[in-house]
Amino acid sequence: MVNGVQVKQRWCSTCRVYRPLRSKHCSYCDRCVFRFDHHCTWLGNCVGIGNYRSFLLLVMTATLFFGHSSLITLKVARQCLREASDASVVRRLFVANAGKFLYVAYASLMCLAFSILMLYHLIIMACNLTTNEHVRDYYMERNPFDITCVENYRQVLCSPYGRTYRVSFAGAGAGSAGGGGAAAAAAADSAREVE
């Protein structure tokens, strides 16, 4: 149980282990990844709990780079066009600066694409979801990992391992035969705060 919601722990037949909550086996990397977000073909690696913040930083810096470079290139190209006065000279400058204008269009499109990607990740972070969980609709009723928007951002961006939810282990009942007090103590110890 996680925050009062029953979550099934799954068996990975490839790795032959019970996978931790929110982990998934990546067929490309051939390993189980904790808090699996997605397999990034551009990076050639899985994005999970260990590198999600670095992935967000990469997306943010790519957005800033393409936005800034498109503005600088546009200013340089406009400056060249302002210096020309005759219409034939302006036409020749357009041809001479065609690469700059093509780069401005390309960089603007890339800035828009990375901005949309960053916005998407900000939205799913507010709900404490991974890309995999969001795309596959893992939690039909209620996301057990969703706390509050601020706490979700803090958990993803600031927590050492990104875990601050309450986990209790079912199945170790106090009335099991032959267990008596030891089973009750184990059941009490199993409900603990994971941080």
Just list the catalytic residues: 40
Measure the CA angle with vertex 10, ends 7 and 13; round to 5°: 175
* Among candidate residues 137, 164, 168, the one with its CA nearest the CA of residue 152: 164
Residue owning tokens 């600066």: 97
The amino acid at residue 90 is V
* Among candidate residues 4, 27, 58, the one with its CA nearest the CA of residue 168: 4
The CA-atom distances, in angstroms, between 147 and each of 2, 105, 121, 141, 195 are 11, 41, 17, 15, 14
The amino acid at residue 44 is G
